[in-house]
Amino acid sequence: MSLLRRIEQGQTGQPGQGEGSGGQGQIKSLQSRRIAPPEGSAQRDTYFDLKTRVQNRLLAELDPTTDVTQIGVVRGTIRDLFEQILAEENIALSRQEKHRLFEQIAAEILGFGPLQMLLEDDEITEIMVNGPKNLYIEKRGKLTRVPMSFESDEHVMRIIERIVAPLGRRIDESSPYVDARLPDGSRVNAIIPPICLVGPTLTIRKFSKNPITIEQLVKFGSLTPESLQFLKACVESRLNVVISGGTGSGKTTLLNILSQFIPSDERIITIENAAELQLRQEHVVTLESRPPNIEGTGEITIRNLVVNSLRMRPDRVIVGEIRDEEALDMLQAMNTGHDGSMTTAHSNSPRDTLARIETMAMMAGIELPIRAIREQIASAIDLVVHQERLRDGTRKVVNITEISGMEGDVITMTDIFAFEQRGIEDGMVIGGLRPTGLRPKAMSQIEAAGIHLPPSIFGVGARRGY
């Protein structure tokens, strides 16, 4: 994409600023004094005026054919022009002020404006923009407000457009919300007026530049070595797994971790609304749904992709998240020779997970008896791994539950591991994932795959859970 088009999508500044005699007069008034970072209202206006004028002139003098993908080269060009403009205009700034101004202008041209600094902070896991003046972040599981802001609703909209335009997606009054992703895979949701009354709202779930490893998951206490060994055996022996939990509980992270155990010689099809899975195998085909175009046509749903994936000779189908009627097709895939498939779902507990899947399957509009749907669920799903964000902000697996079968019209479930909370110290939850002492029914399938787990994993003297 040329620099000119990139600027047209995200250029900062108000139309007409920096032109005419009024603009020249304001620049001259800045030449003889130093410009402090914005604190009070008057200082903020002066700083904004300086930033806008320098940026507009910089944009006017940059070569519009510059390839913005060459970040290092473009950044060097911007710095040279920036220094030249400050010298020509006799604008005196301290080193700190000059660095601040340059970084803000560079972020507007090459990055995502005020969000750029937050995106580069590895400790921040989520960014929430509630209109132009209210920015919040999540760090170490806690929400805090940051002393940063956008200039206006239009400024937020330009950043949103910059995010969604390269993906071929749109956001406007006729389609006022969108799911998207950043180049690093971070998940983005945007919603704008008139649906959102506080102004354009942006929520970014960041992906770590260095993905969480299996060792870190154990170190953080999200899983125990024993439970991880069991989950590894389940994936390798092709059990169908559903990872459930609330928003921000770490479902996708755990799905990425478990997918590492899939053998490299298998063909994997991933299906998502916004591609964010980071599978490390070579033979992976990534599919992404598509919203309708401006004429209201061309929509490709998760359900369409699940049905199509079955014609692509998959060994395993991984759906990033099931939200509605695609649940029925996912159950069909799991029941028609695509063992070892995985997905995630929002729910409050393992039992609620099955109830939600049942409800979502009914949304497909096919008249099926409740018992038939429950039989499909009991036959298709082998394991539910439930994860929660605890009150101290930590994310932990709290249940690893096996689907045992049916008793009458009820799906029977057996907890193989369950979280045991022993108390709270200094605001931190004390406890861990413990085996229940029951031997999984799926052990026969695990052993048939040539995997032998010691009984001690399930607790001393583990007894059969069926």
Asked which of 111, 126, 145 is the last residue of a domain, the reply is 111
What does the mean pLDDT of the chain come to? 82
Residue that finishes a domain, picked among 205, 226, 245: 205
325 with 201, same domain: the answer is no
How far apart are alpha carbons 283 and 268 in whole angstroms? 6
Do 272 and 169 lie in one domain? The reply is no
Task: Assign 3-state DSSP to the chain and report helix, strand, coil percentages, each to 5.
Answer: 35, 25, 40
pLDDT score, position 17: 35
pLDDT at 40 over 80: no
Do 395 and 223 form a contact (C-beta atoms < 8 A)?
no
Pick the range with the lowest mean pLDDT from 73-87, 115-129, 268-282, 393-407.
Answer: 73-87
Separation CA 269–CA 262 (nearest Å)? 12
- Whether residues 252 and 131 share a domain: the answer is no
Are residues 460 and 337 part of one domain?
Answer: yes
Q: What is the predicted pLDDT for the residue at 32? A: 32
CB-CB neighbours of 169 under 10 Å: 19
Q: Residue 403 is part of a domain; what is its CATH number?
A: 3.40.50.300
Residue 186 has pLDDT above 80, yes or no: yes
Instruction: Find out whether 112 and 184 touch, Cβ atoms under 8 Å.
Output: no
Separation CA 238–CA 278 (nearest Å): 20
Indicate the residue among 205, 224, 258 that finishes a domain: 205
Indicate if 222 and 349 belong to the same structural domain: yes
CA separation for the pair 415, 401 (Å, rounded): 4
Indicate if 452 and 342 belong to the same structural domain: yes
Are 243 and 387 spatial neighbours (Cβ–Cβ below 8 Å)? yes
Confidence of residue 46 (pLDDT cuts 50, 70, 90): low
Domain count, the chain: 3
CATH code of the domain covering residue 158 = 3.30.450.370
Q: What is the phi/psi pair of residue 399, to 5°? A: -150, 135
Instruction: For the chain, give the percent of residues with pLDDT over 70.
Output: 86
Q: What's the gap between Cα 334 and its chain centre?
A: 25
340 and 393 housed in the same domain:
yes
Both 164 and 258 in a single domain?
Answer: no
| Residues 415 and 268 both lie in one domain | yes
155 and 279 in a single domain? The answer is no
Whether residue 250 sits in one domain with residue 200: no
Give residue 333's domain range: 214-464
**What pLDDT sits at residue 391?**
85
